[in-house]
């Protein structure tokens, strides 16, 4: 297969994520198997990204392939308005059973960003149904919740480029990034700004939204679960809804099935996505409580005002069901622990390298934070030359491999990062 002509054809027509329209750096990939991506020129790269948190079981998994094929033979899609089907019902039951307690009502959306929009709309409609017009959201800096406008409005104002869309974005309330790190206690001072903002604006806030424990694309930052316990108590006291965005952290990535479990609390609304289908199809879910659902049902207009064309897509639901079964039937905790140890040992040498600000690991997430933004035009080709697929952004070079990665491949992955960052590659 001619890879360079494919790149030329791509560049003539396609956009890529957060990429310039002219000549983005691209590597044509022809297939993927296990933890390896195969490039058009025959090279194989060890995958350090899980295709952005998604491909937890690796690629070309026979069980997931079979789930899709079987469902495709029955029906690929039917509208969800007025119709229902086994894959969607089973998925809702599974999600209600495995997520933190109290979350029973499942909205199936087509992407993470849409599930965040749904979460925000649920919160607003909940208050409308109670006769209150609350439409502001409180969050923390450093967050990432997606690329649609509602989601963008609660992303970090700087990394989320709020100035670019000024005049169109709703203006939300931002507390500082939780200062208490993961593994540390969260004291009064760490929570003071959040508490003050919440109290001052309590009667206009529809909900507080954040990513529990791990902030992903906003900085790969790990913070104390105690912060979340305090926040849950404060929301209860003030009568505010709490939304957790576990689109990145869900399905085991942090070492717990859901990051909320580190704090032992439940949000009122929960967003899931990314690893939900094991990286096979785009699907997301917004879960909420019976009380919120019933309140919306009892209000005006008595229905929830959202309904994507591909809501509950049977193919996506079927592969999500297979992926969840595969995950829960696997020794995933032991695997994540082994990856955590491998990342810790493998990335430790980065601490000695010039230009490295910090190395941190939690679960199957390993982060090397640099002092300055990396030069992608140099770093990305060097990583590919070193035989790994790692996609840094900003000051962050990070690894979140598929859970099935073996010890040796993980060591190779880490060594490649160390070598490239030391400038020796």
CB-CB contact of 255 with 340 (8 Å): yes
Residue 398 or 421: which CB sits closer to ligand PLP?
398
- Of the residues 18, 188, 372, 424, which is catalytic? 18
| Residue 47 falls in the annotated catalytic set | no
The Cα 72–Cα 74 span in angstroms is 5
Minimum Å gap between C-beta 69 and ligand PLP is 24
Minimum Å gap between C-beta 266 and ligand PLP is 18
Q: Judged by CB under 6 A, which of 51, 61, 111, 224 binds ligand PLP?
A: 111
CA 148 distance to own-chain centroid: 15
- The DSSP symbol for 186 reads -
| Residue 245 falls in the annotated catalytic set | yes
- Of the residues 59, 190, 227, 274, which is catalytic? 274
Q: Judged by CB under 6 A, which of 145, 232, 335, 395 binds ligand PLP?
A: 145
Instruction: Verify binding: residue 259, ligand PLP, rule CB under 6 A.
Output: no
Residue 14 or 89: which CB sits closer to ligand PLP?
14
The Cα 341–Cα 338 span in angstroms is 5
- Of the residues 144, 227, 280, 403, which is catalytic? 144
Q: Judged by CB under 6 A, which of 87, 112, 278, 366 binds ligand PLP?
A: 112
Instruction: Verify binding: residue 278, ligand PLP, rule CB under 6 A.
Output: no
Which H, E and C letters describe 336-350, residue by residue? HHHHHHHHHHHHHHH
Q: Judged by CB under 6 A, which of 32, 217, 320, 396 binds ligand PLP?
A: 217
Residue 80: CB atoms within 10 A of its CB come to: 18
Residues 184-213 that bind ligand PLP (CB under 6 A): 211
Minimum Å gap between C-beta 138 and ligand PLP is 17
Q: x/- binding map, residues 63-102, to ligand PLP, per CB under 6 A? A: ----------------------------------------
Instruction: Verify binding: residue 248, ligand PLP, rule CB under 6 A.
Output: yes
Residue 178 sits at φ, ψ, to 5 deg, of: -55, 120
Minimum Å gap between C-beta 377 and ligand PLP is 24
Residue 186 or 243: which CB sits closer to ligand PLP?
243
The Cα 417–Cα 343 span in angstroms is 11
Classify residue 157 as exposed, middle or buried by CB count within 10 Å of its CB (0-12, 13-18, 19+): middle
Residue 16 or 199: which CB sits closer to ligand PLP?
16
136-140 and 173-175 strand pairing:
parallel
The Cα 343–Cα 399 span in angstroms is 8
CA torsion sign, 393 to 397 to 400 to 404?
positive
Residue 190 or 245: which CB sits closer to ligand PLP?
245
Helix boundaries (H) for 37-187: 50-53, 62-74, 86-98, 112-129, 149-153
Minimum Å gap between C-beta 152 and ligand PLP is 10
Residues 26-45 that bind ligand PLP (CB under 6 A): none
Instruction: Verify binding: residue 273, ligand PLP, rule CB under 6 A.
Output: yes
Using the rule CB under 6 A, give the single segment among 29-37, 107-115, 353-361, 382-390 that binds ligand PLP: 107-115
| Cα separation values, 301 from 133, 134, 162, 298, 401, Å | 14, 17, 32, 8, 45
The Cα 211–Cα 145 span in angstroms is 8
- CA 324-326-330 angle, to 5 degrees, is 115
Minimum Å gap between C-beta 104 and ligand PLP is 22
Instruction: By CB under 6 A, name the binding residues for ligand PLP.
Output: 111-113, 116, 144-146, 211, 216-217, 245, 247-248, 273-274
So which residues are the catalytic ones? 18, 144, 245, 274
């Amino acid at each position: 297969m001619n890879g360079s002509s494919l790149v030329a054809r791509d560049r003539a027509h396609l956009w890529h994520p957060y990429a310039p329209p002219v000549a983005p750096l691209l590597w044509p990939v022809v297939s993927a198997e296990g933890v390896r991506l195969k490039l058009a020129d025959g090279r194989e790269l060890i995958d350090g990204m899980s295709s952005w948190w998604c491909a937890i079981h690796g690629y070309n998994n026979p069980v997931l392939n079979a789930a899709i094929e079987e469902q495709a033979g029955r029906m690929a899609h039917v509208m969800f308005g007025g119709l229902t089907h086994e894959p969607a019902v089973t998925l809702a039951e599974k999600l209600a059973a495995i997520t933190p307690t109290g979350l029973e009502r499942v909205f199936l959306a087509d992407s993470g960003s849409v599930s965040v929009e749904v979460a925000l709309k649920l919160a607003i409609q909940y208050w409308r149904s109670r006769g209150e017009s609350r439409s502001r959201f409180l969050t923390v800096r450093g967050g990432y919740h997606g690329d649609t406008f509602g989601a963008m409005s609660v992303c970090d104002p700087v990394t989320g480029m709020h100035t670019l869309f000024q005049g169109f974005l709703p203006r939300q309330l931002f507390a500082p990034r939780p200062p208490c790190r993961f593994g540390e206690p969260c004291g009064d001072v760490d929570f003071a700004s959040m508490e003050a903002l919440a109290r001052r604006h309590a009667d206009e806030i529809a909900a507080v939204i954040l990513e529990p424990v791990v902030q992903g694309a906003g900085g790969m930052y790990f913070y104390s679960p105690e912060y979340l316990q305090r926040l849950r108590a404060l929301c209860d006291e003030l009568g505010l809804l709490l939304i957790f965005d576990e689109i990145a952290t869900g399905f085991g990535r942090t070492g717990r099935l859901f990051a909320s479990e580190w704090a032992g609390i439940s949000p009122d609304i929960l967003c899931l996505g990314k690893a939900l289908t094991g990286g096979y199809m785009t699907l997301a879910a917004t879960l909420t409580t019976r009380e919120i659902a019933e309140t919306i049902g009892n209000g005006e207009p008595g229905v929830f005002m959202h309904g994507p064309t591909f809501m509950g897509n049977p193919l996506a639901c079927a592969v999500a069901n297979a992926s969840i079964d595969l995950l829960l039937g696997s020794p995933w905790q032991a695997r994540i622990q082994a990856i955590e140890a491998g990342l810790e040992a493998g990335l430790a040498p980065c601490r000695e390298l010039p230009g490295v600000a910090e190395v941190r690991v939690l679960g199957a997430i390993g982060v090397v934070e640099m002092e300055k933004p990396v030069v992608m035009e140099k770093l990305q080709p060097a990583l590919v030359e070193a035989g790994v697929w790692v996609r840094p952004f900003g000051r962050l070079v990070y690894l979140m491999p598929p859970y099935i990665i073996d010890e040796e491949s993980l060591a190779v992955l880490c060594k490649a990062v160390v070598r490239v960052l030391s400038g020796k590659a």
